[in-house]
Amino acid sequence: MRIKTQIFDSIIFGFLFVGSIFLVRPPSEEELLNLPMNTMVTLGCLALGFALSLALNQMGIKTLGESIFEPPHKKAQNTHSWYKTFWGWQMLIAFLAAFSAGIWVTEFSITEILSEEGFAGAQRIFSSLLTPNFEILPRAVLAITETIFMAFIATTFAIPVAFVLSFLCAKNIMGKTTPGLILYASLRTLLNVTRSIEPLIWAIIFSVWVGIGPFSGMLALLLHSIASLAKQYSEIVECVENGPIEGIQSTGASSLQVLWFAVVPQIILPYVSFTIYRWDINVRMATVIGLVGGGGIGTMLIQYQGQALWNEVGCLVLVIAFVVWLMDTGSAYIREALK
Amino acid sequence: MSSTNSSQSPLIQVKNLVKTYPNGVRALKNISFDVYPGEFLVIIGLSGSGKSTLLRCMNRLHEATSGEIVFKNEDITKTPSSKIKFLRRRIAMIFQHFNLIPRHTVLSNVLMGSLSRTATLASLFKFFSAEDNAKAMQYLKLVGIEEKAHIRADQLSGGQQQRVAIARALTQGPEVLLADEPVASLDPATCHNVMDYLNKVNKELGITIVCNLHFLSLVRQYATRVIALKQGEIVYNGSPKDISEDWFRKIYGEDAREVHVN
């Protein structure tokens, strides 16, 4: 509890100190790129923040970190209005600082949005998009078919792998023994890493491996689907009711029988529902993956966009929007019916 | 009844049983008692007195911390995990919340009682022997719901589900039936119906029953012997007729008043 509080407050205060330095003495372009120097400054600020947070704790002033991480029974006693507390102001100031920094970093500019010249350019593209060239429709239909099947195959191959992994990644199944817990933790970490690497990056890796085309895109989707499905599946497994498990156990059934008869019937419908949703997501992702040569309609899209053929792009966008809408609606209806 | 039983040798001997949960809760503190063949032994006590823990130690759903449970000359607290399925086949159990598989049919639920006799692979495809199927139907008939055999279990009322659970337990061919608060989530009328079936199992099939109960009126009607638990210790062991007002207060606390189920 204590250490979480300190780390949280150190980051908040450290961030405010770094921000103040920027305000007091704006760094030059050259200084901004000096990573070792900046790391030192940031670490120094964090250390200062840590010291400040310790000092505040000593003085008995409740910081934001403390109020977040304190145990529930203490939270129940808080009756002060937030603006009468230190942590309330700490939160407000930290948010305002982050907001202003964000506005500055993203180069937020009202004048650019309202610039007539820029708007005219966007308008030109928009009007071309809105007058699509339907001559390429036959090819677009073929390409989107490829995309849908890419998503379908990726989902299908991911199901059995994710199904098995889901039990190995469920804490209520694996958490009872030490080797089980180790396997659980390492698999979870592996899947989290896989999932946090965007399918776009995987597609680039696989297109080098197996060549540009739908196969590399499918492999990228497959990997991402396995990681995502295994996580979602395992969360369902973690929510199963213990009653039927005890019931089957008490008949003298083996562990596999318990899994099959007590756990599987409880998880099968949510599994189907998540799987259909995953296919739906994969169709949308396959489009993006096509942009880096993963095949399907995305590849077509990047070709026409590169040549600034906006009328053709308009046709593709329409086809994509139609299919995504269809999948989205269909999968929502099916998932609703399965509940 | 209990006097005739005590001349026989006990079927189960619980000796100095202790169960301490990992969080430090001492659920059972040095419990010793015997269960005689053919008994309808009822265990009473407040929620948290250790009744459920005691039953779950008797079929190894929970592991005892120390002490012995001797079932037919075998200390079952030391039964290796590979043999537990044979133990559970002989000591069946039913539960407060029935613990059926809601999406399976009644018959399929009853057939679960044959799982430990069926090869794992065959069971996954529900290839149960004709004998097991016949047995399942026979016990469904015994609890009076054979006409519901092909209905999904979650379509049944609570009392009917508990009867399916009894049939599932009987399909195991057990010598002992543990019943953990079998009527606690049922209405009073259904209560008696389910208790009557348990009584039938006890009297007609000669299966020994160890049953956790809440209601004293049910205890007087069905039990052949009563054990009362309070905070993990036995405070009463004897005939249900002898539970007086004083004993009742001792078991349930000074302010307790008896509630009748009719």
Nearest CA to CA, how far is A267 from chain B (Å)? 11
Q: Is residue A114 part of a domain?
A: no
Q: How many contacts does A have with B, using Cβ atoms within 8 A? A: 77
Q: Which of A80, A108, A136 is the last residue of a domain?
A: A108
pLDDT tens profile B204-219: 999 999 999 987 888 8
CB contact under 8 A, A251 and B100: no
pLDDT, mean of residues B174-202:
92
Convert B110-129 to b/e letters by CB count within 10 Å (16 or more is b).
Answer: bbbbbbbbbeeeebeeeebe
Q: How confident is the model at residue A78 (pLDDT cuts 50, 70, 90)?
A: low
Determine the pLDDT at residue B39: 94
Chain A's closest residue to B162, CA to CA, is: A247
CB contact under 8 A, A251 and B113: yes
Determine the pLDDT at residue B200: 94
Domain match, A103 and A132 both? no
Contacts of A257 in chain B (CB under 8 A): 115, 120, 123-124
pLDDT tens profile A146-155: 889 989 999 9
Determine the pLDDT at residue B2: 43
Q: Is residue A97 part of a domain?
A: yes
User: What gap in Å lies between CA A146 and CA A245, rounded to an integer?
Assistant: 43
Residue A60, judged by CB atoms within 10 A of its CB (0-12, 13-18, 19+), counts as: exposed
Chain A's closest residue to B118, CA to CA, is: A253
Determine the pLDDT at residue B4: 47
CB contact under 8 A, A243 and B115: no
Contacts of B87 in chain A (CB under 8 A): 252
Rounded to two decimals, the ipTM of the complex is 0.88
Domain match, A81 and A142 both? no
Domains: count for chain A:
2
Domain match, A167 and A200 both? yes
What is the SS3 string spanning chain B? CHHHHCCCCCCEEEEEEEEECCCCCEEEEEEEEEECCCCEEEEECCCCCCHHHHHHHHCCCCCCCEEEEEECCEEHHHCCHHHHHHHHHHEEEECCCCCCCCCCEHHHHHHHHHHHHCCHHHHHCCCCCHHHHHHHHHHHHHCCCHHHCCCEHHHCCHHHHHHHHHHHHHHCCCCEEEECCCCCCCCHHHHHHHHHHHHHHHHHCCCEEEEEECCHHHHHHHCCEEEEEECCEEEEEECHHHCCHHHHHHHHCCCCCCCCCC
Residue A246 has its nearest CB partner, among B61, B113, B168, at B61
Contacts of B154 in chain A (CB under 8 A): none
pLDDT tens profile B67-118: 999 999 899 999 998 899 999 999 999 999 999 999 899 999 999 999 988 8
H helical segments located in A131-240: 137-168, 171-174, 178-196, 199-210, 214-238
Q: Is residue A235 part of a domain?
A: yes
Determine the pLDDT at residue A339: 66
Residue corresponding to tokens 């606690």 = B184
Other CB atoms within a 10 A radius of the CB of residue A55 amount to 10
| Residue A167 belongs to domain with CATH number | 1.10.3720.10
Nearest CA to CA, how far is A248 from chain B (Å)? 7
Determine the pLDDT at residue B113: 93
pLDDT tens profile B218-247: 888 899 999 999 999 998 899 888 887 777
CB contact under 8 A, B101 and A256: no
Determine the pLDDT at residue B1: 41
Q: How confident is the model at residue A176 (pLDDT cuts 50, 70, 90)?
A: confident
Domain match, A184 and A301 both? yes
Domain match, A152 and A260 both? yes
Interface test with B, best of A177, A250, A254, A264 (most B CBs within 10 A): A250
Domain match, A240 and A299 both? yes
Domain match, A186 and A104 both? no
Alpha-carbon Rg for chain A, nearest whole angstrom, is 27
Q: Which domain holds residue A246?
A: 128-338
Q: Which of A76, A108, A140 is the last residue of a domain?
A: A108
Domain match, A322 and A194 both? yes
Chain B's closest residue to A269, CA to CA, is: B103
CB contact under 8 A, A261 and B115: yes
Architecture (CATH level 2) of domain B2-252: 3-Layer(aba) Sandwich (3.40)
pLDDT tens profile B12-44: 999 999 999 888 889 999 999 999 999 999 999
Strand order in the sheet with B91-94: B91-94, B176-179, B208-213, B40-44, B225-230, B233-238
Q: Is residue A122 part of a domain?
A: no
Side-chain-side CA neighbours of residue B41 (13 Å): 28
Chain B's closest residue to A258, CA to CA, is: B115
Domain match, A253 and A286 both? yes
Domain match, A81 and A222 both? no
Determine the pLDDT at residue B81: 86
Chain B's closest residue to A265, CA to CA, is: B103
User: What gap in Å lies between CA A131 and CA A108, rounded to an integer?
Assistant: 31
Q: Does residue B144 have a pLDDT over 60? A: yes
CB contact under 8 A, B95 and A261: no
Determine the pLDDT at residue B7: 62
Name the token pair of A329.
Answer: 């609606």
User: What gap in Å lies between CA A252 and CA B109, rounded to an integer?
Assistant: 14
CB contact under 8 A, B100 and A262: no
Domain match, A303 and A189 both? yes
- The chain B residues in contact with chain A (CB within 8 A) are 59, 61, 84-89, 92-93, 95, 97-104, 112-113, 115-116, 120, 123-124, 165, 168-169, 172
Residue A250 has its nearest CB partner, among B86, B92, B104, at B92
Q: Does residue B254 have a pLDDT over 80? A: no
Contacts of B88 in chain A (CB under 8 A): 249-252
**What integer best gives the mean pLDDT of chain A?**
88
Determine the pLDDT at residue B55: 95
CB contact under 8 A, B102 and A244: yes
CB contact under 8 A, A244 and B124: no
Nearest CA to CA, how far is B91 from chain A (Å)? 8
pLDDT tens profile A217-274: 889 999 999 999 999 999 999 989 889 999 999 999 988 899 899 999 899 888 888 8
Q: Which of A61, A79, A108 is the last residue of a domain?
A: A108
Q: Are A295 and A216 in contact (CB under 8 A)?
A: yes
Contacts of B116 in chain A (CB under 8 A): 251-254
CB contact under 8 A, A247 and B84: no
Residue corresponding to tokens 């000359």 = B73
Residue corresponding to tokens 């529930």 = A72
Q: Is residue A246 part of a domain?
A: yes
Name the token pair of B251.
Answer: 């078991």
Domain match, A308 and A261 both? yes
User: What gap in Å lies between CA A10 and CA A318, rounded to an integer?
Assistant: 50
Q: What angle do CA B151, B154, B156 make, to 5 degrees?
A: 65
